[in-house]
Amino acid sequence: MGDTKASLDIKEFPDSEVHQTRVLTLKEWQDKWVTGNTTFHQEKGNQLLKKHLETFLNGQSGLRVFFPLCGKAVEMKWFADRGHNVVGVEISELGIREFFKEQNLSYSEEQLAEIPGATVFKSSSGNISLYCCSIFDLPRANIGQFDRIWDRGALVAINPDDRKRYTDIILSLLRKGFRYLLAVLSYDPTKHAGPPFYVADAEIRKLFGTKCSISCLEKVDAFEERHKHWGIDYIFEKLYLLTEK
């Protein structure tokens, strides 16, 4: 059934006003981790990433891979195990500690002089570094640029009014020859205010189109029983590949 629904055109809401004034504070995101309200976490990883992994990596090794708003994404270990260098940013210290615990990884932690109150957690192997701070503060840490970015649960979690700021940071982190995989969710935003926030195809092209070539690799039916509580009756996950223009 999923394949049939995914083959249908998805109605776009390019000028949805519903989400424009919606704001979640960093404290509210941190509270989600404290209360265990993290249904956005995928214990088995993202299936679309698995399917398009070779397209994403493009046969290259030793890549620097960035995970914005990483949570405790299991994919970070996937890439590290393949010999890539992983850097993530996450506001929840609890989420970061849970990642290392659940992946059975030892780590060290260090205060960041450049960002008061921020900490970087580094795996003992040295190829996973997770920064506990706001992504909007991250540029002060001078983390360098990346070959790959996996953006799932990041752009869709950013308050709509902050998307341009977010995009500017992401674009500044991209190295020549980059590949940026972006997963977004499509549903009727007049029925659910988010997060995750609805991001229209036109919005993606507006945000990234001047510097990136953009192609939609796939769209799949992502509807689960829990989505009924959002007041929606459909939701699709769309995977975009952004490359250097």
Binding residues for S-adenosyl-L-methionine: 29-40, 69, 90, 134-135, 152
Show binding-site residues. Answer: 29-40, 69, 90, 134-135, 152
Residue in the structure block whose two tokens are 């689960």: 224
DSSP β-ladder status, 174-186 and 212-221: unpaired
Check if the beta carbon of residue 81 is closer than 8 Å to that of residue 53. Answer: no
In contact, 237 and 48? CB cutoff 8 Å? yes
Alpha helices in the chain (DSSP H): 2-6, 26-35, 47-51, 53-57, 75-81, 93-102, 163-172, 201-208
| CA–CA separation, 130 and 93 (whole Å) | 10
